[in-house]
Amino acid sequence: MEIAEAQTYFQQTEVVDHYAHAVSRVGLWVSEERIFRRVFKPEDSILELGCGAGRIAFGLWELEYRRVMATDYCAEMVAEARRINQVLEYGVPIQRADATRLPFSDGEFDGAIFGFNGLMQIPGRANRQRAIQEISRVIKPSGWFVFTGHDRNRHGRKSFWRDESKLWQKGRQHPQVKEFGDLYYEGDEGYWMYIHAADSSEVQADLEAAGFRVDASALRSEICMEPAEVRDFSDDTRFWIAQKNADSPA
């Protein structure tokens, strides 16, 4: 599956509306706020990837973070985020960008965020590796990178992946998936979507190869009990907090 094909889910009006409603109905998660306040200062320049309709970017703006650059691959999401930005009279710059080919200079940002499992919605490990390398390139040495992704080894999912492994051994996996851990399923809005559920060792290896060290990793449920609105919006997910090595080139 190509990146553009995976993004067709996010182009659908019902999906865009779902993300737009989350700006006001869900907002910034408690776990997100705790982590962002820990690693980012309000004066930091922060690149957000996969911003959707702006839930995280606008939440940060409300916390007095004034140097957030919000980006998304999907033009429809960018248009909706810009509309909401205007309605709210916020000043968040929002633009379309491909995470695997970022249109920014080396060391341009103090840190980066790829929220709501966005990194794992890029099909193909090689593409995800390129995205991580690009993020490393555009943030300064010692800069922070925070993202989330489904953990296929978390409690309650191991039996599913054992069964999935048997399907792969027999060559009977879904024809749209190319790598073990890929999922292609019908979302709540009736459209098919792609996501990769990674093994933690896979994520750590890709971060280290791009010049990051893992500072912390925890499931959202281990950080706090989120309000019902958050839990209804998103399944439990794993946070990754990584810091670019101080001696990595800017």
CATH no. for residue 61? 3.40.50.150
CA distances in angstroms from 193 to 4, 11, 172, listed in the order given: 12, 11, 19
| Residue 249 placed within a domain | no
| Residue 250 placed within a domain | no
Q: Rounded CA gap, 134 and 204, in Å?
A: 16
* Under 8 Å between Cβ of 25 and 84: no
CA dihedral defined by 85, 88, 91, 94, rounded to 10 degrees? Answer: -10
DSSP annotation of 157 reads -
| Residue 69 placed within a domain | yes
pLDDT at 189: 75
| Residue 173 placed within a domain | yes
Instruction: Calculate helix-pair angle for 30-39, 55-62, nearest 10 degrees.
Output: 60
Q: In what order do the strands lie in the sheet with 46-49?
A: 94-96, 68-72, 46-49, 109-114, 139-149, 238-244, 212-219
Instruction: Calculate helix-pair angle for 200-209, 125-138, nearest 10 degrees.
Output: 40
Contacts of 15 (CB under 8 A, 6+ apart): 9, 187, 189, 191
3-class SS of residue 129 = helix
pLDDT at 13: 95
pLDDT at 21: 97
Nearest to 16 by CA among 197, 187, 239: 187
| Residue 45 placed within a domain | yes
The model's pTM: 0.94
Quick one: tokens of 145?
């990178």
Structural domain total, the chain: 1
Q: What is the pLDDT along the chain (250 residues), one digit of tens a residue?
A: 677 777 789 999 999 999 999 999 999 999 999 999 999 999 999 999 999 999 999 999 999 999 999 999 999 999 999 999 999 999 999 999 999 999 999 999 999 999 999 999 999 999 999 999 999 999 999 999 999 999 888 766 778 888 888 888 888 888 888 899 999 888 777 888 899 999 999 999 999 999 999 999 999 999 999 999 999 999 999 999 999 999 877 6
| Residue 75 placed within a domain | yes
Enclosing domain of residue 173: 3-244
| Residue 44 placed within a domain | yes
pLDDT at 155: 61
pLDDT at 4: 73
